[in-house]
Structures are given as structure tokens and as C-alpha cells.
Amino acid sequence: MKAAWYTKNGTARDVLVVGELPTPEPGPGEVLVKIYRSGINPSDVKSRKSRLVNAELIVPHSDGGGVIHSVGEGVAQERVGQRVWLWNCQWQRPMGTAAEFIALPQSQAVALPPGVDFEVAACLGIPVLTALQAVHLAGSLKGKTVLVTGAGNVVGNYVTQLAVLGGATVIGTTGSAHRKSHSSEGGAAHVLDYKTEAIAQRIKQITADYGVDGIIDMDFASTAGLLGQGVLKAHGTLVTYGSNSVGAIPVDFRAMLFGSFGIKAFLVYDLKDADREIITAELTAMLESNSLVHKIGATFSLDEIALAHEAVENGATIGSVQIVM
């Protein structure tokens, strides 16, 4: 099968190789999926750049969409030919979706509703599941005001859409004019430029000094500092799913204590089975009702995978970056 891989960390052009690998066979409880779209997330390029390469080679990417080609022992033969979306494909294993085929546990290949195409399928595993879990942890949002950081990014835009669907007023942050427009398209009522505006002051102006009811955050290293500036109401909750700093991050404990703030962090790769089942069922219903808007920012061939990784890294592309197999 045709595939892309790397054997060491480095820049996309230096380490990514495209060639032929053996087509895998599905083991017990597994399915073999023919990949049609492979979704690229920021975590994929970060892994290529710096995560320990603990296998002979790494085929990158965790998300994708395709068709079940064959099944292993213990899997219903009826699944052959089923259109599916995939999650956690390259999490704690070397083989991801940047290949014509992938074998993986059948639970990680979820049936696509009729009419949902593979470009949407490649958006779901990390971006939409992250957004759904974040909104679930934030609790009921009906009638509330929520700060969504990175509202013009892929995950943040899905968070914005879900929060608005849940009845919230969203204040989004972003760092460029084109992402500001994308945030508004997602339903954000106010969009602030964190590079040019005093975020805490602007939020207090918008909320008449009350602050927001909740924060759903992509970069805790930047957002933690807002907790001591009156941005979050007493008894409010900050939900975070990432940080641009991997080291210790200071938090104003006095503000957190006297504000009775809650902080909830999660890793989308490591959800409890029960939580993943809940949000997967919710996602299926939303796909069936066409409730979400999915933006595909750029597509590349597998031979152009280095360019695709660079498109994710440079941050200029709005929407999902994908490989078309």
C-alpha cells in the first residue's frame, strides 16, 4: 500500500517519506479500512517534530474516513463495505491514517450516517469530539455567556457552534482578521483580537462587569492569567483541552478560592469509555440532522504531505487540512 511515514523527528520536508508499505491484516476484533481522507491536526505535526519515535517508523495522523475492506475474527461480516469515520488511529500505536489502509479495533471505526461524506469524516475524531467533551464538561449553557479562546481555529469553531446551539452567547478570541470572520460565522456574538485588545477589560465591558459564566479554552498558559482579572464569574468553570506551554503554569489561587472557580482539564485521546460513547452518540445525531458546519481549508495528495503539514504549522489555513488518498 502507498503510505507516508517518518523514522525520526524533524521538519516535514526533512523527515516525511512517501513509499510502499505492506498492507496490514486485521487481527481479532479489528477491521481493515480503506482510507479516502486523512485529517491533519496540530498534534500530528507536534508529534512529528518532537514526540519520541518509539517504533521502526511512524505513519502519522489520527483522524480519517473510509470504507471497511475486511474484518478480523469476531467482527460481523456485515461491516464489510460500511462507510466509517476513525478516531485515535495513531494514539500510542505507530500506524495512522496517512496510508491507503489501516487495521484497528472495530470500535474505532464508527459508522457514518447516509449522506455524510469522507471530508466531514476526517474532521471528527479530534476536533469535534474535543469540542463536544468540552461543552459537556462546561455544563448547561442555556442563557449563559461563554468565553471561547481560539474561536477561529478548528476546535474552537466547533466549540462556538455547539455553545450557540446550546443557547449560549459566545465571546470568542482570535489573532487575525480572517479567523475573526470565521469565528463570527460560527456564531460568536463578539470576537476579540487578543493581539491588539485588552481581553479582560473588553470582556468586563461586554458583560457589564459581571464576567462570563464559563470559559472553554485551548491554551491554558495564556488563559490562566485571566482568572485574577474579573473575567470569570464566581462559581464559574474553566474547561481546558490544551496549552502552548508544557511546563508549570501559575494560577492565582486566591482568585480561584474566593471565586469558587472550577477548572476541568481533559485529553481527548484518553476519554473514559462511557464519556466517549455519550459524545459519539450525540455526534451521530448531529451528523444525521446536519447541525454542524464543517470547513475544509485545504486538501493535498499523499505525495504533498510535507506541504500539508506546513499548512497546519504556519496557521494561515482556516479549517481542516486533509490528505485525499
SS3 letters across 18-76:
EEECCCCCCCCCEEEEEEEEEEECHHHHHHHHHCCCCCCCEECCCEEEEEEEEECCCCC
| Predicted confidence band of residue 121 (pLDDT cuts 50, 70, 90) | very high
- Torsion angle in degrees (nearest 10) through CA of 136, 137, 143, 146: -120
| Predicted confidence band of residue 93 (pLDDT cuts 50, 70, 90) | very high
Domain ranges of the chain: 2-112+295-324, 127-269
pTM for the full predicted model? 0.97
Residue 59 pLDDT > 80:
yes
Residue 237 pairs in a beta bridge with 214, 262
Q: Which three cell numbers stand for residue 84?
A: 466509517
| DSSP-derived secondary structure letter, 247 | S
For residue 151, CA distances in Å to 18, 137, 146, 325 come to 34, 18, 11, 29
Note the CATH number of domain 127-269.
3.90.180.10
Q: Which three cell numbers stand for residue 293?
A: 458546519
Residue 246 pLDDT > 90:
no
Residue 167: φ, ψ to 5°: 95, 15
Homologous superfamily, domain 2-112+295-324: Medium-chain alcohol dehydrogenases, catalytic domain (3.90.180.10)
Q: What percent of the chain has pLDDT over 90?
A: 97
Average pLDDT over every residue of 96-123 = 98
